[in-house]
Structure 1
Amino acid sequence: MSHINVVYPYIAVLLRGLGMTLAFTVGCAIVGSLGGFVLSLLRMSSNRLVKAATGFYVEFFRGTPLLIQLFWMFFCLPVVFNVSIAPAVSVLLSLTLYMVAITSETFRGALRSIASEQHDASMALGLTPRVKILYVIFPQGLLRATPPLLSNVISLFKESALISSVGIADLMFVGQNISNNTARPLEFLTAVGVIYFLVAFPLTRLVGVVESRLLRRYAY
């Protein structure tokens, strides 16, 4: 018989694991989104070599399981380069590179939706490419990309449960350890699932609010 009361003494430990999960998610989401914007610009380059290289990068990281990427960074990268890589570093690299790939497609779609008149007006005003990108293209692209970007962050948050497989003390790792030590997997794995849901569900609702209110008013 399950007794959910056995979870209460471990709530603080589970929340510390959640803090680790959120730290990796937020950090990799920010860096990955910025890298994704840069990559989206490169994918729209007129240079065929650049387009081919960036296209291969995106398709590779989107087309292979994140768990394989994580294991490769953790187990294979140190062997290939003969260096010692901390588990946290391998996790940061894996999640960030994955986030760059998926957000680049989000930004590419958003940038393509910007009217050509915006580019023509920037040229007519004599704006440099850097100024045009920073002050004309990026703000509009970011606004259009906000709902799918938030969805990407939610996906990253859920996918981050995989980092427990390399020994990072995130929410999933802590929950598994407690359930193994107490022999109460039903209670603790259920609690972990509930915590993930309580974090992810408000974010999914936020996506709908942003899309229905902000974008309809300001983006078009």
Structure 2
Amino acid sequence: MSYSFDFSGLSQGYDELLQGLKVTVELTIAANLIGVTLGFIVALLVMSKLKLVRTPAMLFVEFFRCTPAIIQIVWFFYCVPILFDVYLDSLTMGVLALGLNLTAFNAEAYRAAIQSVPREQHDAGIALGLSPLQRVLYIVLPHAVRASVPVLITNGIGIFQQTALVAIVAIQDLMYQGKALATTTYRPIETFTVIAIIYFAISFPIAQLVQAIERRREMASR
């Protein structure tokens, strides 16, 4: 290979990359707050005995799980303003698209965790006179959160990586700034190598944390 790597030219764009990383982190945090919160609510709706409640929730989950995230992002940016006459800033649109995508995947994680709650705990809540809402808040929710933490964190890593897709609608995240820098410096290989390293440096430690949590849980269950 005759290609000569030269990273020196990237020094002029470090500030822009850091600014892009800041936007990426903001998108990730906001999307995770939506996904973790709404995911539990959607999981309860999916498990409802009422078909009128269950069916729309299931359609929501399947739509976001079975369509590409990039299509969802583009749809939000171009279709929502036209169809619903709702105009939000690009960052908010990105947060909503990513947050609802994460909600669908987290809902499945919560649903599996809720189904694993021992029947005895439900019976104990009924025996104590707890209302259905109290049983959800004090019995189901704590168990579901503990059981689904590894999956929720893994999904959170995935949404961090998927934030790169918002560059297609001109949100100035890390990927967007990287593309601009690659065009300016004529060094796409070096630029995208640095960007890949940044994504890896953030994702890898969190992935290791997930593995540590799972190992600890396995040891505790023995």
- Deviation of 1:215 after TM superposition, in Å, equals 6.3
Matched, 1:155 2:158: yes
Q: Which ranges of structure 2 fall in alignment gaps of 5 or more residues?
A: none
1:20 paired to 2:23: yes
State the TM-score, normalizing by the size of structure 1: 0.95
Q: Residue 214 of structure 2 aligns with which residue?
A: 211
Deviation at 1:214, TM superposition (A): 4.4
- 1:38 alignment counterpart: 41
Within the candidate set 174, 179, 204, 2:177 is matched to 174
Inter-partner Cα distance in structure 1 for 2:92 and 2:168: 14
The one of 173, 182, 186 aligned to 1:183: 186
Aligned partner letter, 1:213: R
AA matched with 2:71: I
Q: Distance in 2 between matches of 1:181 and 1:11?
A: 13
**DSSP-derived class of the 1:168 partner:** coil
Tell me which amino acid in the other structure corresponds to 1:116: R
Cα offsets for 1:94-144 (capped at 9, x unmatched): 011111111000000011111110100000010112221112111111000
Q: Does residue 50 in structure 1 map to residue 23 in structure 2?
A: no
Equivalent in the alignment of 2:69: 66
Matched, 1:122 2:125: yes
Separation (CA, whole Å) in 1 of partners of 2:65 and 2:140: 25
Contact 1:144 1:215 in 2 (8 A): no
Query: What SS class does the counterpart of residue 44 from structure 2 fall into?
Result: helix
Count of matched residue positions in the alignment of Structure 1 and Structure 2: 219
Aligned to 2:98: 95
Aligned match of 1:194: 197
Alignment equivalent of 1:108, drawn from 97, 108, 111: 111
How many Å apart are 1:150 and its aligned residue?
0.5
Q: Contact (CA 8 Å) 1:175, 1:192: kept in 2 or not? A: yes
Q: Secondary structure at the match of 1:13?
A: helix
Letter in 2 for 1:28: A
> What secondary structure sits across from 1:68 in the alignment?
helix
Residue 72 of structure 1, CA deviation: 0.7
| Offset of residue 11 of structure 1 | 2.5
Q: CA deviation at 1:9?
A: 3.8
Counterpart-to-counterpart distance in 2, 1:29 and 1:16: 20
Report what 2:167 is aligned to: 164
TM-score, length basis structure 2 = 0.94
Q: What SS does the corresponding residue of 2:171 show, helix, strand or coil?
A: coil
Which structure 1 residue ranges, 4+ long, deviate > 4 Å from structure 2?
Answer: none
Per the TM alignment, residue 10 of structure 1 is displaced from its structure 2 partner at its CA by: 2.7
CA contact (8 A) 1:62 1:102 kept: yes
Contact 1:143 1:215 in 2 (8 A): no
For residue 71 of structure 2, give the secondary structure of its aligned residue in structure 1. helix
Secondary structure at the aligned position of 1:64 is classed as coil
> Which moves more between the two structures, 115-124 or 133-142?
133-142
C-alpha offsets along residues 173-207 of structure 1, whole Å, 9 cap, x if unaligned? 01100110111111111100110000111111010
Aligned 8 A contact 2:9 2:185 in 1: no
